[in-house]
Amino acid sequence: AGILMPEFKKSQEWFETGKTAITAQLTKQFNSDGVHNEFDPSYHLGAVANFYDIYKVAQANGKLDSFPSDYVEYLRKAAKFIMDVTYPDYSMDNINDTRSARMTKSVLTRNLRQYCEMFPDDEQLKWFAYEGRYGTRPQSTLITYPVSGYYIMRNGWLSSSTMLIHKNCYDPDRKGLSGHNHPDNGHVMLYVNGRKFLPDAGTMSYSGSDYSTYRSTEMHNTLTRNRANIAKRQGKLLKTETSTG
């Protein structure tokens, strides 16, 4: 209202109030490495879409410079996360409560191309969003999100490449207990040449026995003693190393 109805006497006051609240929500909802604090890529995608809409309205009305610089940088990190956890064939795994069937190629590429509108200087994002028709192919083989606990290893970015996602979330307050993070630290997902060899079981519902069953540690690609659930999700990055050997 503060942006779109400047003829009202309090429009600037509305804008300042809204800007402050929106910026606070951005830093509250996203961890400093850019991952949404529900640890669920589908909710991450939806949250970025909301902030993208605000970004576009502010940009179209010459108000974008009024937002703090970290508003844009948080969105840049958040956009990169979606690119990094998307498989080379533009599919996604059932990470936490994500329903991969809903995260179709058209949904993912549409959102990725919106991110390109925000960050036209990012040639690697552009390459992935437009399936290699524009931009520069990414060269990263090890990507870490150490604050949230996502680690991606890959030997390339083509559909024939191999990609492994390791999930070891840092969630000591157990936000995901009533939200969308599963107790499956140590979980791995593996994609090889267009095929998922270790797909995530995901979840079947948001309540009832199916929900608690699929959220249990033993339903995921990780091991615990006596099939116990992981109570403390305190994933921590100790070391990263790359080698050509």
Q: What are the catalytic residues?
A: 43
- Rounded CA separation 26/33 (Å): 12
**Hey, is 211 helix, strand or coil?**
helix
H/E segment holding residue 52: helix 41-60
Quick one: 64 exposed, middle or buried, by C-beta within 10 A (0-12, 13-18, 19+)? Answer: middle
Q: State phi, psi for 106 to the nearest 5 degrees.
A: -65, -40
Beta strands in 86-245 (DSSP E): 142-145, 150-154, 162-167, 187-192, 195-196
